[in-house]
Amino acid sequence: MIINNRTQFSKKSLQNFLYNANLAGYASGNGKNWFKETDGSTTIIYQQGKFKFHDNFFGGEPYGGRIIISYAGHPTWIMIYYGYLTTKNLEPNIVYDVLRHALLHTSKDLPLRGPDCYQEKDFTYNNFPFGKLNHFSGIETIVQDNKTIYQAVYHGGLVDVQKGI
């Protein structure tokens, strides 16, 4: 059981929610729950029961953002991420389509970004997560012809578990 200052929920329920939210979020590409903000960012919202997923990002190329998961209206989990193409010789939409497809294959056990490895045409997506859902970091890459053409870093974990400042 995970208990923060105001709520309690199981790690498994958080894990299952994050898995479902990831599939319904950016990876889906459907734009149904996407909102353009006045600051130029984009927000994706997904809700299920007492859980709410709030993904806010800037970009384009490169891009950066953060995901907050709240339970019963209280922030409980965060992920910060930043990604970019390492070459100017490719159309960004081609690479980001591969990324979206890879993210649809996220792990149910540790749904942080995509699977360990995903192959599409001549692109290979790799994900290297470290840690567990409560405290993690990771790097994801897309490789083409033995050359890394995309890279992103991410990190995060539980928030507001103990009484703090």
Over residues 61-107, the pLDDT tens digits come to 999 999 999 999 999 999 999 999 999 888 899 999 999 999 999 99
Average pLDDT value for the chain: 91
How far is it, in rounded angstroms, from Cα 52 to Cα 162? 21
How far is it, in rounded angstroms, from Cα 117 to Cα 103? 11
Domain contains 165:
no
Q: Residue 28 — very low, low, confident or very high, per pLDDT cuts 50/70/90?
A: confident
Domain contains 154:
yes
- For the chain, how many helices (H) and strands (E)? 2, 11
**Is residue 2 scored above 70 in pLDDT?**
no
Domain contains 163:
no
Higher pLDDT, 3 or 43: 43
Domain contains 47:
yes
Q: What is the pLDDT of residue 3?
A: 54
Domain contains 115:
yes
Domain contains 15:
yes
How far is it, in rounded angstroms, from Cα 84 to Cα 51? 30
Domain contains 124:
yes
Q: What is the pLDDT of residue 9?
A: 79
Domains held by the chain: number: 1
165-to-5, 89, 150, 158, 162 alpha-carbon distances in Å:
12, 48, 38, 16, 10
Q: Residue 126 — very low, low, confident or very high, per pLDDT cuts 50/70/90?
A: very high
- Residue span of the structural domain in which 67 resides: 2-158
Domain contains 91:
yes
Q: What is the pLDDT of residue 11?
A: 87
Q: Structure pTM?
A: 0.89
Residues 21-50, mean pLDDT to the nearest whole number: 88
Residues 117-145, mean pLDDT to the nearest whole number: 97
